[in-house]
Amino acid sequence: MGAFRMAVLAVLPLALAACRSAAPPSAAGAALGMAAPPPCEPALLADLPALSAQPGLPDPFAFGDGRRAATRADWTCRRAQLTAQVQHYELGPVPAALPVQASVNGEGLERTLTLRLTRDGNTVEVPVRIRLPAGGRPPHPALIGLGAVTLNNDELSRMGIALVSFPNGLVAEQKDAGSRGQGAFYTLHGREHPAGAMSAWSWGVSRLVDALEATPAAGIDAGRLGVTGCSRNGKGAIVAGAFDTRIRLTIAQESGSGGAAGWRVSDEQRAAGENVQTLRQIVTENVWFRDSFRRFGAHAQQLPFDQHAVMGLIAPRGLLVIENTSMEWLGNRSAWVTALAARETWKALGAPEAMGIAQVGGHAHCQLPPSQYGYVNAFVRSFLLDDASANTNVVETDGGFAPEPGRWVDWTTPALR
């Protein structure tokens, strides 16, 4: 894990919708005849009719002009392009940060951190419940759960991890397809803001991180944070981890379509007669995505990315994908294939052990089986407790799926230098 730890110390800059700008060369660089690096090319955001169909999972390392990322600097640019594309086509834009005021109620193990945000005369408050571990001294590393943390919570507490319940439904409602524009995010930014619920949640999680950084009384170490969620909230956890590089670890639990399961592979499963959620269906169910994403309902192959690229935005930070092979609706094979393809980004960055995949069936939805406790514990020890001995090298399924993504990946993985 040594190479990964070096990567964490040099955390990638947060790139939401813009590429990095060219900076003037330093005096030392000018004396050596070194030119400033060129600015990144903006992402190509063509309209649907101009997008070419790609039956396989698109190459995450390919720029629009056909050039491929060969260096880490290239990947910084490509990552910014992918982030812009994901927000433009699928999730909706994440707005800039707002100043956040925070207050803490309670002095024991159970506390409430209340976020207060104001924009254009509108003020919202978001209460966030915190459960501190009984042992150790604050500040504690923490897992932020969208809705709640639904893992092996007692073990995590014994390990010294605080559990933070983020009320994402208050930030952006997700009851059904009629929930669009409801919640604190839209009170601040307007009911017509194009962000889907998951972009709104990620914005809210980032404001929570801002508040934790500025509020020692919460008892949380804001430099050692993870995010998790199950099912729809697992989808949201991936987005929050992808868009905020301050989050060290993402644990996506049974996230299904729009999470770990890729649109293209899920379409194939559905065509084969399996009861799998697809893009065409999910955009009619709820408001997790931007409203215009429904245009891709019958055109998933024209998306210039797929969910492997969304997960790849987290690299080289930690990601553990936990899936339930008994849940066909979640796209069990699709999640396996797509997660394997996503892991290629970690390989390119020299940190494959920072991304794990663990698929186990035979249990209820969002009920972590004991057989997966060890995987969760290892990733938490490694990324939140800085335990270099933790073994996070896990790529396992009990679904009998092929060990490689196969025909879905027709590109090679570069070694980014």
Q: How far apart are the first and last CA of the chain?
A: 18
Phi, psi of 69 (to 5 degrees): -60, 130
Residue of 314, 401, 297 lying closest to 349 (CA atoms): 314
CA atoms of 116 and 101, how far apart (whole Å): 5
Q: What is the DSSP string of 295-308?
A: GGTT-GGGSS--HH
3-state class (DSSP) for residue 172: coil
Sign of the C-alpha dihedral computed for residues 97, 101, 107 and 111 taken in this order: negative
Cβ atoms of 321 and 358 closer than 8 Å: yes
- Active centre residues (catalytic): 231, 365
The answer to whether the Cα torsion of 339, 345, 349, 350 is positive or negative is: positive
Q: Do the beta carbons of residue 354 and residue 367 sit within 8 Å?
A: no
Give CA separation, 168 vs 28, 288, 301, in Å. 48, 11, 30
Residue found by looking up tokens 């590429």 in the block: 19
